[in-house]
């Protein structure tokens, strides 16, 4: 696997962690809508991070989610409950 793909995946995962921390901070301050938004983007960037390792990217959320579901959820790599 190319180093550039690994670096992009790592960058997206780090972005996911930053968004998760922002979600926690917003939640603690009672900013629930903002917290929910940051939590969603945390999950979204984590999924993009995983998809990157398969060489897939999409500018649309539906494409990112669909690829992840087809490649990881339906195959049992990630449980649907998660």
pLDDT at 28 over 90: yes
What's residue 82's pLDDT? 79
Q: 1-8: list long-range contacts, CB under 8 Å, 24+ apart.
A: 1/53, 5/52, 5/53, 5/55, 6/53, 8/52
What is d(CA 60, CA 18) in angstroms, rounded to the nearest whole number? Answer: 21
Q: Where exactly are the structural domains of the chain?
A: 3-56
pLDDT level of residue 2 (50, 70, 90 thresholds):
confident
pLDDT level of residue 80 (50, 70, 90 thresholds):
confident
pLDDT at 63 over 80: yes
What's residue 72's pLDDT? 95
């Amino acid at each position: 696997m190319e180093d550039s793909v690994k670096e992009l995946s790592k960058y997206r995962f780090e972005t996911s962690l930053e968004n998760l921390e922002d979600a926690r901070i917003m939640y603690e301050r009672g900013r629930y809508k903002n917290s929910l938004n940051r939590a969603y983007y945390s999950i979204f960037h984590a999924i993009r991070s995983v998809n990157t390792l398969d060489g897939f990217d999409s500018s649309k959320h539906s494409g990112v989610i669909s690829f992840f579901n087809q490649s990881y959820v339906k195959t049992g790599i990630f449980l649907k409950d998660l």
